[in-house]
């Protein structure tokens, strides 16, 4: 076996030298970067690549000159101490190869570990990201606490506990702040450390808010369901119609959703499933006539196409549709999984429709039921029913004020 050490300016040149000298079957045993020709203990020399390669004896070993490769001035190319460090024979070559195979990955790992240890503390991007996230969260929290105006005294500390309790249950921030301020004002200073006492007072305040909204709802035999896309309007109508039918009623479903592909089919299938007739109304005038024709029915449920509440033209079309019918009740269907900011916008966008009750859907998809309270208190209108799953007619529940409180405070 032949072992030779070469120096070159870079790996490409080194490999060429190895190939020229030891032939194409030579293997690199080691490589390192060294300084050459430098004064001052070699510190000022230029860096070259020192590479040691081995080949089995008998492999072609030609000089660069012999192969027509001229050594460059930059590279003090050529073997240094060629052959003197290697043994002879295929066995030794294979030994070196096997050792190299085993040692190389270990060397790589050691190198990586050394780099990691030597890297300045805190330079890791994920640590940096985490740190900046924490700073942001702290800033948001302290600004929220600041907005709520809680002091650093016992009263402030109690208020803060209650405030976080409400935020964790999905109560919208301004509503949570107002509730906390009212509760703290009600409870004597000596009792502020008693969280159970605070929560009792909190429940009383929330019950009062919810009850105010529950007054004045007037159900009508004609109910029109409106709301954002995909919240569960059609499914809820099917559940309600099934319940009405079960109670001996004479219900009809009218769908006006002729826009979405397969919307009519969906309603007709539901009608077949629950044995309730379904009629289709195309536009406001057709809806008015259909309802007049069926005036003798106990209950008429009108389905509408889901609309993007931010699309003004679409909301105007909805207004035109519901205005065509006298003596009807409009129910706004909202999802309990919506974000508080989106729900606020949805309520605002539907304000002109004069809807009178809410339907809250998808309670099964969240453990945080704060949106029930938020929507009732924001709109000042009660909840007609909630839905808790996809099954028709099973997943439908009536809910009263204590029921809403239980869901919001205890999940």
Ligand X SMILES: Nc1nc2c(ncn2[C@@H]2O[C@H](COP(=O)(O)OP(=O)(O)OP(=O)(O)O)[C@@H](O)[C@H]2O)c(=O)[nH]1
132 binds, among Mg ion, ligand X, none (CB under 5 to 8 A by kind): none
Q: Is residue 377 within 8 Å of residue 401, measured between CB atoms?
A: no
CB of 278 to Mg ion, least distance (A): 13
Instruction: Tell me the C-alpha to C-alpha distance, in Å, between residue 72 and each of 12, 13, 47, 364.
Output: 13, 10, 15, 76
Contacting residue, 78, 232, 271, 393, with ligand X by CB under 6 A: 232
Q: Is residue 236 within 8 Å of residue 304, measured between CB atoms?
A: no
Cα separation, 104 vs 28, in Å, equals: 11
Judged by beta carbon, residue 55 or residue 236, the one nearer Mg ion is 236
Total Cβ atoms within 10 A of residue 222: 21
Judged by beta carbon, residue 233 or residue 407, the one nearer Mg ion is 233
Q: Check binding of 235 to Mg ion (CB under 5 A).
A: no
Judged by beta carbon, residue 167 or residue 396, the one nearer ligand X is 396
Site for ligand X in 32-91 (CB under 6 A): none
Judged by beta carbon, residue 55 or residue 234, the one nearer Mg ion is 234
Judged by beta carbon, residue 233 or residue 381, the one nearer Mg ion is 233
Site for ligand X in 283-342 (CB under 6 A): 305-306
390 binds, among Mg ion, ligand X, none (CB under 5 to 8 A by kind): ligand X
The backbone torsions φ and ψ at residue 82, rounded to the nearest 5 degrees and listed phi first, read: -55, 130
Contacting residue, 234, 256, 375, 379, with Mg ion by CB under 5 A: 234
Contacting residue, 169, 233, 350, 369, with ligand X by CB under 6 A: 233
CB of 394 to ligand X, least distance (A): 10
Contacting residue, 108, 247, 365, 400, with ligand X by CB under 6 A: 365
Task: Find where tokens 């005036």 sit.
Answer: 295
Which tokens belong to 359?
A: 């339907």
Judged by beta carbon, residue 234 or residue 290, the one nearer Mg ion is 234
387 binds, among ligand X, Mg ion, none (CB under 5 to 8 A by kind): ligand X
Cα separation, 102 vs 181, in Å, equals: 70
Q: Is residue 331 within 8 Å of residue 225, measured between CB atoms?
A: yes
Total Cβ atoms within 10 A of residue 38: 12
Question: Among 141, 188, 175, which residue's Cα sits nearest to residue 160?
Answer: 141
Contacting residue, 175, 202, 231, 287, with ligand X by CB under 6 A: 231
Q: What is the 3-state secondary structure (H, E, C) of 365-391?
A: HCCCCHHHHHHHHHHCCCEEEEECCCC
Cα separation, 359 vs 375, in Å, equals: 10
Binding mask 236-275 for ligand X (x = CB under 6 A): ---------------------x--x--x------------
Contacts of 392 (CB under 8 A, 6+ apart): 235, 238, 239, 242, 270, 273, 274
Q: Check binding of 234 to ligand X (CB under 6 A).
A: yes
Cis previous bond, 393, omega within 30: yes
4 binds, among Mg ion, ligand X, none (CB under 5 to 8 A by kind): none
CB of 346 to ligand X, least distance (A): 12
Q: Which stretch binds Mg ion (CB under 5 A): 52-60, 105-113, 129-137, 227-235?
A: 227-235
Strand residue runs (E) in 247-356: 251-255, 278-280, 299-303, 329-335
Q: Which stretch binds ligand X (CB under 6 A): 17-25, 162-170, 172-180, 226-234?
A: 226-234
Write out the residues near Mg ion by the rule CB under 5 A.
Answer: 233-234
Write out the residues near ligand X by the rule CB under 6 A.
Answer: 229-235, 257, 260, 263, 305-306, 361-362, 364-365, 387-390, 395
């Amino acid at each position: 076996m032949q072992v030779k050490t070469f120096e070159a300016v870079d790996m490409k040149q080194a490999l060429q030298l190895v190939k020229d000298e030891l032939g194409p079957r030579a293997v690199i045993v080691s490589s390192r970067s060294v300084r050459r020709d430098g004064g001052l203990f070699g510190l000022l020399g230029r860096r070259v690549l020192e590479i040691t390669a081995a080949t089995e004896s008998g492999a072609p070993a030609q000089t660069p000159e012999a192969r027509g490769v001229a050594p460059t001035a930059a590279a003090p190319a050529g073997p240094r101490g060629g052959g003197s460090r290697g043994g002879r024979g295929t066995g030794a070559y294979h030994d070196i190869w096997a050792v190299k195979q085993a040692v190389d990955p270990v060397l790589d790992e050691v190198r990586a570990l050394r780099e990691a240890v030597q890297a300045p503390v805190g330079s890791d991007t994920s640590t940096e990201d985490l740190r900046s996230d924490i700073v942001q969260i702290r800033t948001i929290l302290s600004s929220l606490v600041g907005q709520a105006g809680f002091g650093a005294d016992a009263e402030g500390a109690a208020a803060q506990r209650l405030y976080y309790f409400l935020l964790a249950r999905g109560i919208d921030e301004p509503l949570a702040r107002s509730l906390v301020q009212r509760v703290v004002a009600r409870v004597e200073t000596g009792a502020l450390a008693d969280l159970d006492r605070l929560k009792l007072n909190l429940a009383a305040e929330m019950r009062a808010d919810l009850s105010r909204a529950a007054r004045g709802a007037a159900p009508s035999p004609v109910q029109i369901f409106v709301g954002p896309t995909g919240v569960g309007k059609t499914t809820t109508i099917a559940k309600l119609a099934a319940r009405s039918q079960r109670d001996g009623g004479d219900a009809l479903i009218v769908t006006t959703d002729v826009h979405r592909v397969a919307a009519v089919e969906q309603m007709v299938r539901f009608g077949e499933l629950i044995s309730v007739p379904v009629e289709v109304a195309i536009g406001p005038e057709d809806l008015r006539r259909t309802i007049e024709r069926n005036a003798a029915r106990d209950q008429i449920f009108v389905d509408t196409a889901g609309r993007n509440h931010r699309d003004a033209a679409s909301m105007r079309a909805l207004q035109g549709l519901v205005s065509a019918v006298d003596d009807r009740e409009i129910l706004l269907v909202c999802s309990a999984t919506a974000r508080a900011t989106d729900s606020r916008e949805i309520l605002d966008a539907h304000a002109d429709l004069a809807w009178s009750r809410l339907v809250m859907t998808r309670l099964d998809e969240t453990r945080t039921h704060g949106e029930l309270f938020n929507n009732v208190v924001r709109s000042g209108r009660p909840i007609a029913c909630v839905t808790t799953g996809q099954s028709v007619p099973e997943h439908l529940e009536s809910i009263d004020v204590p029921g809403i409180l239980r869901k919001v405070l205890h999940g």
